[in-house]
Amino acid sequence: MRRAIMAGNWKMNKDPAEAAELVKALVPAVKDARCDVVVCVPAVDFFTVRAAAEGTNIKLGAQNVHYEASGAYTGELSAGMLKACGVEYVIIGHSERRQYFGETDKTVNLRTLSAVAAGLTPIICVGEMKEERISGYTNALVEYQTLIALNGLTAQQVQNVIIAYEPVWAIGTGLVASDGEANETIGVIREALQRKYGKDISQAVRIQYGGSMNAGNVKGLMAQPEIDGGLVGGASLKPAEFSAVVMYHQP
């Protein structure tokens, strides 16, 4: 059985003191979670979050990684730098990175290879625009994005990667793919993995849903057989809301 994973994406929110306060409030609320718990925070928060989460079940994640080990890449962080800061997970290819900062399927692949080589666990984001869903391109698009992102990895490496299906039209909008829509599209991703890497690998890969997951819709989404967790945006900035998502298994 795949173990669920709930990852909070804080985006560009919380200074170091605020970040520590949030994690300290979160620690007792999620200590009995039956899923993996990750907070992907701004780089300026790494050390205060790491300290606040030390000895707990909360793991540290980053929101981006560069594909080179070092060099003239102003403003970027390498996988080695992230590892040195105690980071274990990293989001790659979020739709906001693609939309605002020129991420492409090619650079997503390069960043994924770099992260895996350094021992980080990538959370690779794939998903369609509303127009693409309406036009019937969702399945072809998410298959392509997924397989390009993983190009160059061995089957053994692929089974430890996390995929996050994020319908772009549902990110930060309050709109959510229906439970059935999310499950169906994640099933398409898993089928693509099976064709490429075999059934055992496809069944091992954890695939999250991202796109306005919150305490109100988490149980319905997590009841779906293909959904292995969530990449949670706005709700992850509120300890009570995020802990309710993490503890979705409670009555």
Which residue among 96, 103, 143, 166 is the active-site one?
A: 166
Under a CB-based contact definition with an 8 Å cutoff, are residues 226 and 194 in contact? Answer: no
Report how far residue 69's alpha carbon sits from residue 82's, in angstroms, rounded to the nearest whole number. Answer: 11
Mark whether 166 is an active-site residue: yes
In whole angstroms, what is the distance from residue 206 CA to residue 16 CA? 30
CA 91 – CA 199 distance, rounded (Å): 25
Contact (Cβ atoms closer than 8 angstroms) between residue 183 and residue 230: no
Judge whether 182 and 209 are in contact, CB under 8 Å. Answer: yes
Three-state SS at 122? strand
**Is 66 annotated in the active site?**
no
- Are 221 and 228 within 8 A, CB to CB? no
Going by C-alpha positions, the residue among 243, 156, 245, 160 that lies closest to residue 197 is 156
Among residues 66, 94, 96, 103, which one is catalytic? 94
Q: Which residues are catalytic?
A: 94, 166
